[in-house]
Amino acid sequence: MNTDTFLGEGWSFPPHFDKKTNQLVTTAGIADINKSLEILLSTRLGERIMRPDYGCNLEELLFQPLDVTLKTYIKELIETSILYYEPRIDTQSITLDTTNELNGEILIKIEYIVRITNSRANMVFPFYKNEGTEA
């Protein structure tokens, strides 16, 4: 059994087509898991009509003071979202790199184990205030 296929294959996001083959571009394996995590972390609650409880709602925290309480809350929010919406992995750790916080950026590093293969992987999600983001 091909591990990448078992882990899942999905549309690339945003969806697009390969001009040479005229085929839909897809992702599989660890890349698919990382893309799924990226989508989960960047989705607001209520944004998906058929799944109003899907998402992480990190954007509501953009202008909060970055203290220990908020850092703990962000980690808990992410861990809970992954627990409910990414069943292919077990989260090992979530760390926040705040070295660039004065520029409005936090790097969220998620280390996880893929359940079916017991292999370790990680992804880094840049969480920051976009220029177009309203207060």
Provide the pLDDT for residue 82: 97
Torsion sign across C-alpha atoms 81, 59, 61, 68? positive
Work out the average pLDDT over 104-129: 91
Give the confidence band of 22 by pLDDT, cuts at 50, 70, 90.
Answer: confident
Evaluate whether residue 40 is within a structural domain. Answer: yes
Residue-wise pLDDT tens digits, 61-106: 888 888 999 999 999 999 999 999 999 999 999 999 999 888 888 9
- Do the domain assignments include residue 133? no
Of 99, 36, 109, residue with least CA distance to 66:
99
Higher pLDDT, 103 or 8: 103
Band (27; pLDDT cuts 50, 70, 90): confident
Which of helix, strand or coil describes residue 121? strand
DSSP annotation string for 51-88: -TT-S--GGGGTTS---HHHHHHHHHHHHHHHHHH-TT
Give the total number of structural domains in the chain.
1
d(CA 87, CA 31): 15
Q: Which pLDDT score, from 0 to 100, does residue 1 have?
A: 42
The answer, yes or no, to whether residue 28 has pLDDT greater than 90, is no
The answer to whether position 135 is within a domain reads: no
Confidence band, pLDDT 50/70/90 cuts, at residue 135: very low
pLDDT of residue 78: 97
* Average pLDDT value over all residues in the chain: 87
Whether residue 41 lies inside any domain: the answer is: yes
Phi, psi (deg, nearest 5) at residue 17:
-115, 150
What CATH number should be reported for the domain holding residue 30? 3.10.450.40
Query: Which of the four pLDDT bands, split at 50, 70 and 90, describes residue 13?
Result: confident
Dist CA 17 CA 98 (whole Å): 36
The candidate with the shortest Cα–Cα distance to 40, out of 7, 73, 86, is 86
Q: Note down the domain range covering 98.
A: 3-128
